[in-house]
Amino acid sequence: MSNSSKNVKVAIFGLGFVGLPLALSYALRGCEVIGVDVDPHLVDQLNNGITHHLEKYHDIPIQQVLKDMLAAKRFSATLDAGHALKECNNFILTIGIPVTDKGHDFSHVESCSRAVASGLKPGDLVIVRSTLIPGMTRNFVKPILEESGLKAGEDFYLAYSSERIAEGKAFDEFENMPTLVSGINEASLQKAMELMSIVTKAELVPASSFEVVESAKVMENISRDVNIAMVNEFARFTKALGIDIFEVIKVANTHKRVKLLIPGPGVGGYCIPNALHYLAPKADELGVPLKLLRTARKINEEVPAFVASLVTKNLPVPPSKAKVAALGIAMKDYSSDDRQSPALDVIKILLNSGIKVAAFDPAVPSKHAFQVDSLEAAVKDAHGIIVLAKQNGIGYNNFKLFNELMSKVGTPFIVDTKNLYNRDEVEAAGFKLESL
């Protein structure tokens, strides 16, 4: 515990994949942290030491970190925003903007900002750490906070800092990822950097305005969307050519100025698929068409249908009589999060074609009608397997079990979207391998 963190009280609004590890990061360093959320079930679980996140802090599972911080009385979760506002003078907002059918839902950011405004005090610091549409901190969040009767930059400090963590690496990246910071004025910037330096040991990069950091965050995510779209296009080419896209990428990346990402069943999660939709409203307002970025997003949105077609073309029976085992449904490898998962998009397409799908992913706590609780239940009587995400505890190479339980009609097949298998090994076990 550093001297700078003693007696520091922080309220984190939103206890999801960003907010919870951030809250615990401050608690680990001696701060008194109150986590605020609107979900009673989540708050109850956290106060009882329960979380399904897969984060680790120096090899200590987040579940143990949570229990330790609860026991030390350095972390608690509450539904009562008023309590947190009374007890603390540092507030970090990690509330996101859901995008559905390419429309934005600002209600969560609005209600959170209004809750903070209801108890904002002179001298308080508010840091927004959500992905926002550029201009939104200044033009949306700030006016709501000023409904408190206090003026940003004069009566309270206001800052924006993008979160840059990858799920599964949150503790490490909060500490070691260079972090962008902006303030409504210089005093707010310095106050935010002081609070953030308790956790962040990497460079804190000051920016000239909220809009610079907001735009940088969105562009960081979009750049990955474009890169993935490019390799997904390459994958269609290499498949037609009869060569392995993963080998092509491996050798291409030996060039010191080339860093291709890898293709997969699609692009999932809360950040990358939504990034264009955060930028588009401001671009439309400014009359900027974003042709390349929109094309890349369209390419990635079409990938699940292509992946599903690899299944249907290998079925030995009509779709209405077929069963497929789907292994891994998280939005990315080694995640418990299935929000906007391309795996779910693939499964939906297969189900709509009449195929029975049994999906197994021991890390994903949400329950779908097609989910099963074991590998055995997934592969029993299945005509094929589709691998949609890497996950510990699945048993992708249990060919003995596959041969025992899978359907004997036709040649069983494996559609591998994650480059898990050796073709010779799979074919020696009696399976056909279909890769991207």
Q: What Å distances lie between residue 329 and 168, 192, 246, 368, 388, CA to CA?
A: 16, 38, 21, 10, 6
Per residue in 78-100, pLDDT (tens digit) is 999 999 999 999 999 999 888 87
Per residue in 116-173, pLDDT (tens digit) is 999 999 999 999 999 999 999 999 999 999 999 999 999 999 999 999 998 889 999 9
State the average pLDDT over residues 393-408.
Answer: 97
Task: Report pLDDT for 270.
Answer: 76
d(CA 187, CA 364): 43
Structure token digits, residue 339: 């929000």
319-335 burial, b for 16+ CB within 10 Å, e for fewer? beebbbbbbbbbbbeeb
Per residue in 222-241, pLDDT (tens digit) is 999 999 999 999 999 999 99
Task: Report pLDDT for 102.
Answer: 57
d(CA 151, CA 284): 30
Query: How many Å from the N-terminal Cα to the C-terminal Cα in the chain?
Result: 49
Task: Report pLDDT for 98.
Answer: 84
d(CA 67, CA 47): 9
Is residue 376 within 8 Å of residue 401, measured between CB atoms? yes
d(CA 393, CA 33): 34
Per residue in 44-55, pLDDT (tens digit) is 999 999 999 999
State the average pLDDT over residues 186-192.
Answer: 98
3-class DSSP assignment, residue 429: coil
Region of 46 (left: φ > 0; alpha: ψ -120 to 50; beta: rest) is alpha
CATH architecture of the domain covering 211-436 = 3-Layer(aba) Sandwich (3.40)
Q: Angle at Cα 322 formed by Cα 428 and Cα 367, nearest 5°? A: 100
Structure token digits, residue 221: 């995510």
3-class DSSP assignment, residue 230: helix
Task: Report pLDDT for 192.
Answer: 98
Is residue 305 within 8 Å of residue 347, measured between CB atoms? no
Please check the confidence at residue 212 and state whether its pLDDT lies above 70. yes
Task: Report pLDDT for 262.
Answer: 94
Contacts of 28 (CB under 8 A, 6+ apart): 57, 65, 69, 74
The DSSP 8-state label assigned to residue 165 in this structure reads: P
Structure token digits, residue 54: 């897969």
Q: How many CA atoms lie within 13 A of 282 on its CB side?
A: 15
- Cross-strand pairs, 413: 384, 432
Domain at 3-208, CATH class: alpha beta
Task: Report pLDDT for 36.
Answer: 98
Over the chain, what is the mean pLDDT?
Answer: 95
Instruction: Look at the chain and count its residues.
Output: 436
Instruction: Provide the percentage of residues in the chain whose pLDDT is more than 70.
Output: 98
What is the number of other CB atoms lying within 10 angstroms of the CB of residue 389?
Answer: 27
**φ and ψ at residue 129, rounded to 5 degrees:** -125, 40
State the average pLDDT over residues 396-411.
Answer: 97
Per residue in 275-306, pLDDT (tens digit) is 998 899 899 999 999 999 999 999 999 999 99
Region of 109 (left: φ > 0; alpha: ψ -120 to 50; beta: rest) is alpha
Q: What Å distances lie between residue 295 and 14, 135, 248, 342, CA to CA?
A: 33, 24, 23, 18
Task: Report pLDDT for 3.
Answer: 46
Radius of gyration of the chain from Cα atoms? 24
Taking the domains of the chain in order of start, what are their residue ranges? 3-208, 211-436
Per residue in 324-367, pLDDT (tens digit) is 999 999 999 999 999 889 999 999 999 999 999 999 999 999 88
